[in-house]
């Protein structure tokens, strides 16, 4: 076969490999409807196998790249649209994908019917890859996605999968430990927590960090935990229950800023001063929420934009054919100190 001076495959190479004429190969690569389906498939397969892409239009035909990336959020729609963190993720995904020239296709996945549609869409060649957020440990979507030929990068844990997947996560357990240690340093000794739903790995890790920090300090955690649902009303109700059981509580770590906002309401209703009577720390450092609570909320800062940026970097490497090892990439967190603790 003829090769040019830098050994890149030529149109003649593609034609010879496919067993067609040069003109047929050219017309097939340019989408000519008069080329038979069998010849077109042979030419596209030859071009793909040889790595032939003379220009962007031909490259799109050869690689079947769409220039679009799906962002899949595996949660009920009503939960997603009320969650400041998920909204921040959507905004960051739009910006980061636009920066690399990709169009974002937003998909909500809520239940079995949505999952079937999600899988059909992703397998149907409509997008080049997907960024997936599937926080629930029993979610069957991550395991089903492994069967697809589409590159996938997960934001946070991939359901109950721990191997063979590309994950960009946040150091949730360390964040909780940092929060509790800050409360301990300020003299608090009866430190409770409002944990997130324990079917979500991030919530489990935040609860684990709280437990480990109390254990390190030689403090008993019995009766000091209430579980809630990452909502404002859920945080308020959990705080009422916790105060009823532990009225001498003097410190509180809450697994999200939204729940912490609800907890602050309950503390105010109970006549408990923050931080004088109870010091409160949240998790997220959402820029529109944490500074606006009364008092402004001390909170563990995670950065959704940095998480999404690393997810996009990983996905672009996969699409470029780089040998990217499947692993869990963990991003650091920090503590933003305000008036609540």
Asked if residue 282 and residue 195 are part of one domain, the reply reads yes
3-state secondary structure of 64: coil
Model confidence, pTM: 0.78
Domain that residue 58 falls in: 11-63
Asked if residue 183 and residue 112 are part of one domain, the reply reads no
Is 310 part of a structural domain of the chain? yes
Nearest partner of 299 among 84, 147, 154, judged by Cα: 84
Asked if residue 85 and residue 157 are part of one domain, the reply reads yes
Is 210 part of a structural domain of the chain? yes
Chain center to CA of 97: 14
Whether omega before 155 lies within 30 degrees of 0, making that bond cis, reads: no
**pLDDT tens, residue order, the chain (341 aa):** 444 445 667 888 888 999 998 888 877 876 666 788 888 888 888 888 887 765 444 444 444 678 899 999 998 877 777 888 889 999 999 999 999 889 999 999 887 778 889 999 998 888 999 999 998 888 999 999 988 889 999 999 898 888 899 999 999 999 999 999 999 999 999 999 999 999 999 999 999 999 999 999 999 999 999 999 999 999 999 999 999 999 999 999 999 999 999 999 999 999 999 999 999 999 999 999 999 999 999 999 999 999 999 999 999 999 888 889 999 999 999 999 999 99
Is 338 part of a structural domain of the chain? no
Asked if residue 178 and residue 156 are part of one domain, the reply reads no
Is 340 part of a structural domain of the chain? no
For 328, residues 6+ apart whose C-beta sits below 8 A from its C-beta are 162, 167, 169
For 297, residues 6+ apart whose C-beta sits below 8 A from its C-beta are 257, 260, 261, 264, 280, 281, 282, 289, 290, 291, 338, 340
Asked if residue 281 and residue 195 are part of one domain, the reply reads yes
Asked if residue 284 and residue 235 are part of one domain, the reply reads yes
- CB neighbour burial string for 89-108, b if at least 16 within 10 angstroms, e if fewer: bbebbeebbeeeebebbebb
CATH of the domain at 42: 1.10.260.40
Asked if residue 166 and residue 312 are part of one domain, the reply reads yes
Asked if residue 149 and residue 97 are part of one domain, the reply reads yes
Cβ neighbours around 1 below 10 Å, total: 11
> Are 52 and 62 spatial neighbours (Cβ–Cβ below 8 Å)?
yes
Q: Integer distance in angstroms from the first to the last C-alpha of the chain?
A: 73
How high does pLDDT run on average in the chain?
A: 90
- CB neighbour burial string for 150-186, b if at least 16 within 10 angstroms, e if fewer: bbbbbbbbbbebeeebbbbbbbbbbbbbbbbebbbee
Asked if residue 164 and residue 82 are part of one domain, the reply reads yes
Asked if residue 321 and residue 285 are part of one domain, the reply reads no
Is 284 part of a structural domain of the chain? yes
CA dist., res. 251 & res. 290, Å (int): 18
Sheet architecture: strand order including 68-73: 103-108, 68-73, 129-133, 152-155, 166-170, 328-331
Asked if residue 277 and residue 202 are part of one domain, the reply reads yes
Is 245 part of a structural domain of the chain? yes
Domain count, the chain: 3
Paired strand residues for 280: 252
CATH of the domain at 275: 3.40.50.2300
Is 286 part of a structural domain of the chain? yes
Asked if residue 166 and residue 98 are part of one domain, the reply reads yes
Is 339 part of a structural domain of the chain? no
């Amino acid at each position: 076969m003829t090769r040019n001076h830098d050994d890149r495959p030529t149109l003649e190479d593609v034609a010879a490999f496919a067993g067609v004429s040069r003109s047929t190969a050219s017309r097939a690569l340019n989408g000519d409807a008069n080329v038979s389906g069998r010849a077109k498939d042979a030419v596209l397969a030859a071009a793909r196998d040889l790595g032939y892409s003379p220009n962007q239009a031909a490259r799109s035909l050869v690689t079947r790249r769409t220039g679009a990336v799906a962002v899949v959020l595996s949660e009920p729609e009503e939960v997603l649209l009320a969650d400041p963190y998920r909204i921040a993720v959507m905004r960051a995904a739009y910006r980061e994908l636009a920066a690399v020239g990709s169009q974002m296709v937003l998909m909500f996945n809520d239940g079995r019917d949505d999952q079937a549609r999600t899988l059909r869409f992703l397998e149907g060649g409509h997008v080049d890859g997907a960024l997936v957020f599937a926080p629930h440990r029993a979610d069957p979507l991550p395991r089903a996605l492994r069967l697809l030929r589409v590159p996938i990068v997960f934001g946070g844990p991939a359901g109950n999968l721990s191997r063979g997947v590309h994950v960009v996560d946040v150091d949730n357990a360390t964040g909780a430990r940092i929060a509790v240690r800050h409360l301990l340093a300020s003299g608090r000794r009866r430190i409770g927590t409002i944990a997130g739903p324990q079917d979500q790995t991030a919530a489990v890790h935040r609860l684990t960090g709280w437990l480990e920090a109390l254990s390190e300090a030689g403090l008993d955690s019995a009766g000091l935990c209430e579980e809630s649902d990452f909502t404002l009303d859920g945080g308020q109700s959990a705080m009422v229950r916790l105060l009823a059981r532990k009225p001498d509580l003097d410190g509180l770590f809450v697994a999200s800023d939204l729940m912490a906002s609800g907890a602050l309401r309950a503390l105010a209703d109970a006549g408990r001063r923050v931080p004088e009577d109870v010091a409160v720390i949240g998790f997220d450092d959402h820029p529109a929420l944490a500074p606006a609570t009364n008092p402004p909320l001390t909170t563990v800062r995670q950065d959704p934009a940095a998480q999404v940026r690393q997810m996009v970097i990983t996905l672009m490497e996969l699409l470029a054919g780089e040998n990217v090892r499947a692993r869990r990439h963990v991003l650091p967190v920090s503590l933003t100190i305000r008036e609540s603790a």
